[in-house]
Amino acid sequence: MFAHLPVGALRAFESAARLQSFKRAAAELHVTPTAISHQMKALEQRLGLPLFERRARGVSLTAGGDMLFRCVHGAWLDIAQALQRLQPALSASALNVSTTHSFAALWLVPRLGRFHDAWPQYQVSLSSTPHVVDLGQDATVDVAIRYGTRAYPGLTTVCALPERFGVYGAPAQVAALRPARRPPLISVHWRDSRLYEDGWRHWCTRAGLDWLRTRGPDRVYEEENYALQAAVAGQGLVLASSIMASELVANGLLAPYRPELDVPGAAYTALCAPGRERHPPVRAFLQWLEREMLPAVGSTDGHAVG
């Protein structure tokens, strides 16, 4: 049944499709780019359709190539996992998750104990970085949790956690606040600094307050984590994601100011390479993550998350 499958050509195809380059595929497989090119031409002739669009700086998949890549990549992953299960000493029980530092510290880590209680055989390893990880090329990352509003073509989207932005402060400070007197305002200068600057202005407009009429926020931090900790310490009011503030609010360290007011945010989305969701540790983590996210998705006040 499988005697006539072009295994060598399919292996070369998977590498070239994943790396979007015949040259990089050749380096990965320790052959010449010419050999990869010949194999791809032969495979295309066998199938009777083009698999790649050749360009000056690499290649991209056609619709047929994309369909074949998903099947071949998933099959190689299944084979690799079967080999791992046959080697107990090398059995993969670790789960590598990439996300931002603030999401890990403020939302994910406080909840991870529940995952470990449910799945004690799996160990989660967190990698916190502000840079986007290429899941098609970096096989060391099982799951990436990314922030934004865009789509993620070519990746498996498992679940998403939407947010709203509200204003928070230390409970005593919120209780004593008088709108006529502007309190210190805290913001974040993140990769998309406009998100916070526009959010503050939008919130103040909705609240009918002129706090930003003469100057902007008084304190600006590079990370949401730092800004929220400054608010916990009573340094002012912070405009923050309902997701990021949720655990601090639940523990009584922060309180929402004017909780009936919020402004739109984006979402945190869990992603993996096609086929990786079938790997047992990944499947368990994603199922758990989806359950954790559900209460937030169903929240109606925009501030009680998780």
Task: Determine the 3-state secondary structure of 236 from DSSP.
Answer: coil
Mean pLDDT for 198-218 is: 86
CB-based contact 152:271 (threshold 8 Å): yes
Question: For residue range 279-305, what is the model confidence (pLDDT) as tens digits?
Answer: 889 999 999 999 988 755 444 333 322
Of 2-6, 237-241, 280-284, the poorest mean pLDDT is in: 2-6
pLDDT at 268 > cutoff 50:
yes
CA separation for the pair 196, 199 (Å, rounded): 5
Most confident of 74-78, 82-86, 104-108: 104-108
pTM metric for this prediction: 0.63
Closest CA to 44 of 56, 55, 36: 36
pLDDT of residue 172: 94
pLDDT at 51 > cutoff 90:
yes
Closest CA to 28 of 39, 18, 41, 40: 18
34 versus 294: which is more confidently predicted? 34
pLDDT of residue 194: 66
Mean pLDDT for 64-80 is: 86
Mean pLDDT for 159-177 is: 91
CA separation for the pair 239, 228 (Å, rounded): 9
Mean pLDDT for 4-16 is: 89
